Amino acid sequence: MAGAASALFLLDIKGRVLVWRDYRGDVSAVQAERFFTKLIEKEGDPGSQDPVAYDNGVTYLFVQHSNVYLMAASRQNCNAASLLLFLHRVVDVFKHYFEELEEESLRDNFVVVYELLDEMMDFGYPQYTEAKILSEFIKTDAYRMEVAQRPPMAVTNAVSWRAVKAYDIRRMKYSWMLWRALISLSTAMAKIIRSDVIGALKMRTYLSGMPECKLGLNDRVLLEAQGRSTKGKAIDLDDIKFHQCVRLARFENDRTIAFIPPDGSFDLMTYRLSTQVKPLIWVEAQVERHSRSRIEITVKARSQFKERSTATNVEIELPVTSDATNPNIRTSMGSASYAPENDALVWKIKSFPGGKEYMLRAEFTLPSITAEEAAPERKAPIRVKFEIPYFTISGIQVRYLKIIEKSGYQALPWVRYITMAGEYELRLI
């Protein structure tokens, strides 16, 4: 029989757990956080549509419906197709009971939700998934959402993603932008074998009325069309994807990003740059074996960006042979610990300024007796995680953000940049 699901999670659009049903007792609520972290890391990646993910012994399978994520976590070798089909059946059953499956309908029907999940899955194995059969023995009254009948947008001149709202002009007329760049890198023998940058412009807006927004970037095509100098200041945008609020015709005609923003947080645009980028944090590791009983690892980490920037929450994961014991670790900065469950040495540096170099030395004891035909030692890559606030690896810049609303109020736009490590690997030789 195929492996079973350990637990089922229902999450809101921000990754907060709405409902959690534990079936086997071998996962915890931490798995929901790890799942959503991986989901954010893959944001903007074409592969992010993959409904199956694996991390640290746990398989995550998920579907998204409206503003709800349905996610099954399993520690077994599960039948992915079966569990994904089950999640779609859960959506159908909930829609039968609540009319619409949304965060609001789940909050209004917690009792019915848990009753249904108990009948639909037993010890992690799907059971009843037909709404008509479940209706025979689960007769608890459910609150059904009313689906309002709206006139066509062409008649009302409205937009589906925004309602006209009025905020206190002293507190809530602002637009906040985060330009996030996710750098992915793979190197071997001091050569870069793959690098790309996935960028996203995340907006958070609280604007009254129906504001018209225009955004200007240092886009090479636009600047050249305007006769402006582009030497060293412009970039080529590739593989751009816009939120539905952006008027694509305007962008295709004159490269203007014009839009009426939805309220709250959303991704205005994503893009990818396949140009080669310099490794922002370079790590070198030297491994020496001494008389088959001791191994010594020397690691150098060097930041290759300007001194005015600082990387934060740096985490360097170095592979260690699985039979190593008795670690003795010294670092010139930060702290390091041995993680035997991952066969890795984890070095954490809270603040790593540009142009700096730090060192780590570690000694491990090896078993005195080894197999005659030992398997060849695996050479897993060094993995690096970091964030660099107020820094953009792609060189993209927001030149202006104009907000126009018929009432004529003054808005307060501001922007913040951040670069983060994505799939950042340095391979050992």
What's the confidence (pLDDT) of residue 363? 93
What is the biggest distance separating any 2 CA atoms in the chain, rounded to whole angstroms?
83
Q: Residue 164: pLDDT band by 50, 70, 90 thresholds? A: low
Mean pLDDT over the full length of the chain: 81
Fold of 174-277+393-427: Immunoglobulin-like (2.60.40)
Task: Give the strand order in the sheet containing 174-188.
Answer: 241-242, 264-273, 191-206, 174-188, 412-427, 382-389, 310-319, 344-353, 335-339
Whether 149 has a pLDDT exceeding 60, the answer reads no
pLDDT digits (tens, 9 = 90+) for 246-283: 998 888 787 789 999 988 888 999 888 777 788 899 99
C-alpha span between 158 and 152 (Å, rounded)? 9
Residue-wise burial string across 174-187, b where 16 or more C-beta atoms lie within 10 A, e elsewhere? ebebebbbbbbbbb
Whether 30 has a pLDDT exceeding 90, the answer reads no
Residue ranges of the chain assigned to CATH 3.30.450.60: 7-137
* Predicted model pTM: 0.59
Q: Which CATH architecture has domain 7-137?
A: 2-Layer Sandwich (3.30)
Which residue type, as a one-letter code, is found at position 19?
V
What's the confidence (pLDDT) of residue 222? 63
Whether 218 has a pLDDT exceeding 80, the answer reads no
Count Cβ atoms below 10 Å from residue 397 Cβ, excluding itself. 16
Which residues are within 8 A (CB) of 194 and not within 5 positions of it... i.e. 6 or more apart?
A: 184, 185, 186
Whether 215 has a pLDDT exceeding 60, the answer reads yes
Beta strands in 208-263, from DSSP E residues, in sequence order? 212-217, 241-242, 257-259
Which residue type, as a one-letter code, is found at position 194?
R
What's the confidence (pLDDT) of residue 54? 85
Where does 281-389 sit in CATH, by number? 2.60.40.1170
What's the confidence (pLDDT) of residue 310? 95
What's the confidence (pLDDT) of residue 388? 94
Q: Residue 229: pLDDT band by 50, 70, 90 thresholds? A: low
Q: Residue 349: pLDDT band by 50, 70, 90 thresholds? A: very high
pLDDT digits (tens, 9 = 90+) for 234-251: 677 778 889 989 998 888
Measuring CA to CA, which residue among 415, 406, 13, 417 is closest to residue 174? 415
Residue ranges of the chain assigned to CATH 2.60.40.1170: 174-277+393-427, 281-389
Residue 175 CA, distance from chain mean position: 22
C-alpha span between 286 and 299 (Å, rounded)? 6
pLDDT digits (tens, 9 = 90+) for 90-112: 999 998 888 888 888 888 888 88
What's the confidence (pLDDT) of residue 318? 93
Which residues are within 8 A (CB) of 181 and not within 5 positions of it... i.e. 6 or more apart?
A: 197, 198, 199, 392, 393, 394, 396, 417, 418, 419, 420
